Structure formats: C-alpha cells, structure tokens
Structure 1
Amino acid sequence: MAMYDLVLKGGHVVDPAQAIDGPMDVAFRSGKVAAVQRDIDVPAGVETRDVSGHYVTPGLIDMHTHVYWGGTSLGIDAEEYCRTSAVTTAIDTGSTGPGNFAGFRKHVIEKSDVRVLAYLHISHAGIFGFSNRIMVGESEELRLMDPQTAVEVALANRDLIVGIKIRLGKWASGIHGMAPFEHSIQVAEETGLPMMVHIDEPPPSYGEVVERLRPHDVLTHCFRPFPNTPVTPDGKVRPEVLAARQRGVLFDVGHGMGSFSFKVARMMLDNGFYPDTISSDVHALCINGPAFDQVTTLSKFLNLGMSFPEVIRTTTENAARALSRPDLGNLKPGSIGDAAILSVDDGRFNYVDVTGETLAGDKKVNVHGVVLAGKWWHPN
C-alpha cells in the first residue's frame, strides 16, 4: 500500500485542468500530488484531514500582487496574505526592477514558504513612489528605463522571473503614451519572455496598447471603468480587444484600487468575454478595500454569474498556462502538492468595486485550509 504524507478525505474536488468536479480524496507524498481518487485507503500513521462539506481545488495562483513588504511602500506580507486567501503562488507584478530585484529575491522570495514568482519591471527601481502620500509614476521618468540591466537580471533569474512588466497611462507614465512600451517590448523579445502591461487612464488608449501586444502577453486591469474601457458606448466589446484575444493576448482582471468596474464586467460577461485570469492586484492601498484579497475578487465574479468551476479555472489552470508552469494549477499526480480548501457560502454579502458601486451578493468564497508542498499549512 502506498505511503502518503497527507490525505484529504471526503472533499469535493474541482480541478478544471483534469475536468474533475465531484467527490474525491487527494493524497500527497514528498511535496507532490500522489493520488486523486474516489476513496483512498489510508495506512495507519498518515496525517488525514476530513474536508467533507468543502471544495478541494489546486492551490490558487494570484496573477497580480505586490508582496515586496518593507522594500516598497505598496508591498504587503506574502505569507500572511496567502494563508488567508488560499494563494499558494503569488505573482509579484513589477514591484521591483533590475536595480532592486536582488533584495526582493533574498529578503522575501527565498525566505517565503509560499511560492513567489515575478514580472520584472523595466524601470530601474520598479514601483518606488506609490503610497497614500506620494504618487510618482515610475514610467513617467524615461531616464529610469533600464532595458540593458533588465535583460541581464531577467536572464540571471529565470527560475523566478516569468515576464516583463511595464505600466502605461496618465498615472504611471504621464504624457509619454507608448514610449515606455518601446523599451519593454525590446526586453521581452531579447529575453523570450511575455509582458504584463498595466493600463490606467489615457494616454495611451486601450486600443493602442492591445494592438501592440503579442500572443501570451497579458493585459492587466482588463475590466477598467471609463476612460480606457474595453467596451463601446453601446455595450459591445471593442473590435481591437476581440482581435487581440484571437491573436492569443491574455486578459487579466488585476482589481486593485482603481481598475475594476462591475458595470464593465457585466457588459463584458454579457458579450461572452470572460477574463483569462482573475487576480486581486492586492497592495497596501487596496488590501482593506476595495480589492481585499483573491477570494473576495473571485466571489465578485461568482455573483456576476460565472460558475464556481469557471472562476476556479481562471486562478488555477489558466494562470498556470499564462506562466508556462504546467506543474502548477492542477492536481495531477506528480504535480506540485498545493491545494486550497474552500466553501461557497450562501448569505447576504455586500461587494464594492473601484467606482464605489456596490453589489448585493448571495454567495461568498471562504477559505478553510491550505496545503503547500504536500503539507497542511494554516494557522488554525
């Protein structure tokens, strides 16, 4: 009989990557998934957790976070956040650039139990002036663009760096429009990595940005409110957005403090345009609202009409594909042994977007446990 380190008994497994949606036990051994089957025989002495009445999903991947705590003013604590939101892989999107990535690697990433991967900013010090008192767009100062060093740092840290980040728009790049993008696309091409591109208010326009994105590049803040919104005034998806998706561009929610609107999300979903990845863009200025965390962001989409398996797909299988990490985001035997234990609770829940619109919801995703590298990982 196989010896396991941990077995989750009696849960309802939702693993979109394997088209599993039903009662299954999940066993872990040596940091990996060992078995997913209807009723696993558990030898004496193996840690067993009764998770009946709960969903078991692959560990959640939050595609957009800022977790360089202490090194940047917008950073939050990765482990505390991930434990409470069942996130086992946090993707830091551009908190650091080539000038300070080494500190992020040494002081946060290597010390964390939770997996932290990163999109490297091409601005020398990443997002350095982002707080409730100081707001300096790092892409506004073109002298800070550091493409040569960005290439060197990205190639030297390929185990952790999954792509290149650039922030464009009135707040991030001022009057420069697409100019910072020209630096980032060169770095992306030179390193063979995808880009994640932030968009806020014009300039540049939403259309100008998506027209330049390549297959596998990610547009984050994809369901932004007006201005720079993906829908036309008559409620249709802009043609350049549809063309970008057809080309293989990926659309990420990146909720944050200013980048997600219920009104826009409803129109996009009504048009059958679902996000590829749902992410929180959690940072110091939105962790106490309106974004809060990943499970709250997922709950919003559940209440907007997406099904639970569809929502889970965006934060597991789709996110792993965007990262080119097939060992993540699924519970296939041999994959990394990360899992989330969740419930979808009924009740009355008020949700808020970045425009102040509230949504009276009747469902909420709650966290009941986390498995990280095959071990139970939770303060309770």
Structure 2
Amino acid sequence: MSEEKLKRTSLYDTHVKYGGKMVPFAGWEMPVQYKAGVISEHMAVRTKAGMFDVSHMGEIVCKGPDALANLNMLLTNDYAGMADGQARYSPMCNEEGGVVDDLIVYKKNDEEYLMVVNAANKDKDFSWVKAHQSGDVTFEDISDTVGQIALQGPLARKILLKLVSGDAVPQEYYACTFDQDMCGTKVMISTTGYTGEDGVEIYMPMEKAPEIWEALMEAGKDEGLIPCGLGARDTLRLEAGMPLYGHEMDDTITPKEALLSIFVKMDKPDFIGKTAIEAKTPPARKKVGLEVVGRGIIREHMNVYRDGKKIGVTTSGTMCPYIKKAVACALIDADARELGEEVEVEVRGRMVKAKMVKSQFYKREQ
C-alpha cells in the first residue's frame, strides 16, 4: 500500500528557494530548518525577528445564532463577554476529560467565530464539533483556502508596519483585526504566536501567501528577519513553556494535569468533560519543568525517578539556545512534585540529574 501523498502549502516552492529542508509533518511537507540552522533561527526570534509558514494549521468557522452556546459546550474556557476582535485560547475535551485538541477562537461578531486548530488534529476536530453541534449553528472547514504566516520577535511589529496601516495591528495581546489591506489583498492580523515573543500571525487567501512572504522578507531585510522552520518553532515554544498537543496533552491527559486550569472554567453550567474533570480533581499527576543539572540532554518518553522510584515520564525535552540550558517537561505523580527538588531521568541507560522547576523556562520582558 502506497503512503498517502503529503500535502503542500502554497509556500512550498518559496521554502525550497530559501533553502528549507523539507520533512513530513502532520500530513504535510514542511521546512524543519533553513540554511541558518535551528539555533540561529531560534536566536533571531528572541533578538530580532523570524518568520514561519503555519498554513498547515486548521481553520473552522463557527456561525449562527447558537455559535456562542456551542463554543461554550465544546470548550473548557468561557467565550461569553468577548469583544469583537478578541482571541481566546482553550482546550477542547472529550467525555473522560482528556484533551481532543487545544485551539484559539477569534470573535468576528456575536454570530461568527474562527477556530484555529492543530494541523494534525484538524479532521478529528472537525468531526468532533460536527458530532456535538446543537441548535442553529454551522461549522465549516475552510483550512484549504487559508494561508497563515507567523512573524515573531521583538522587531515583528516594526517590520509589519512597513506594509500595513498603524491601526491594522492590535495593541493588545490576543486580539485581531479583520479585512486589513496588505499587498493588495484582505488579511486578518492577530497578536498571537507560539514562541513566547511579541509578534503577529497573518491570515490570508492561501494563494496570496508567497507574495506576502516575499514582501515581509523585503521589509525585514534591514531588521535581521530570517525564515524559520519547525525545529525552531519547537525549541521556542518549549523554552517559553508552551504545551504541544501529543506531548504535554492528549486524549488521555486532562487540562488540569497539563497545568491549564486557568483555561478551565468550572463555574460554567456545563461543558463536555466537566463531570470527568471534577471527578479527577485534584489530579493524581501534574506537569513539571525539569532543568538538567550537569551534563546531558533529556528527550521525550524518558522515565523520571525520585529516590529510586519511578514518578513519571518526560513529554518534551531539548537544549534551549537562548537560556543555554537543557530542559524538559514531564508528567509526574502530583505528590512527588516539589519545585527545587532533584530527580533523575533515564537517558539511554544513564541517569541524568535534573531539578524540578516551573515549566516556563523563558519569559520575555514586557
């Protein structure tokens, strides 16, 4: 049986032109890195600016008089009281309290919202929301028509403002503007990202992405802007303590175990998974950050021990270029989670010492 053909975003030829090393990812061919390499790309985002193709992400429009009621039942966060142009993050849970996906919802108006979901989960998510919709609402998967570019870093806004008007870019974090003019096309600009840096994500018609990419590269050439791939996207999000679906959360891990309680509004009348999450409170296991003490790099799926007893397993791990530390996240027994205490992680038969810390290893200065 032949493998399913990988999909390509409209920026595929652009990535090849810029020297992107293409790899399979979530059913797509995406650049893992460019000529500069992961470390240089990571540092560019932390100190200047970097640009990512995130057109593989999924976009689902939720529309109708009962749109808000559906979102509030499907998602653990509360979407009441949002202003037009606001964005809000949330886990979406199954009946057992595990996470179907984590996503961001943008409010266009009282009867129209845009849900942006993970590429690997898009079809699963769309099936899930369709199976659980109620009342006067429609869900439409528009992923194939939408291109998305993430421009991230302290100079991101400065670069973007060379191409759009000043009021096109929201001042607040987690906000968006619709129908902005950029390179002769209408775009949505949101102050969101997955790097822990200041920055924006720009949504456009898929076919316009190459033109907008080139315009941004030109606008950013004096600011040190470089293209970045999946490798730097992962090291940046881990350094900033941002969870990744399939690692820090999945269908068997609850939001509270993943330390996402702030996004779980237990005072809402109901949502899918609420009863199960209540039953699993307080959680028996919790996420923790690990900072390597001494030598070694920890990766995912490695056993964690304290005083010779296995207490959990790592979910992500790498060497973070900006903070110059080897770090990891792990899901461990809640009663063994004591910040500042030492643990050991089994790395290919060798025990590597690490210290339990908060999982946000880097936080940008406001």
TM-score interval, smaller chain: under 0.3
Q: Give TM-score, length-normalised by structure 2.
A: 0.27
Q: Which has the higher strand share?
A: 2
Q: Give TM-score, length-normalised by structure 1.
A: 0.27
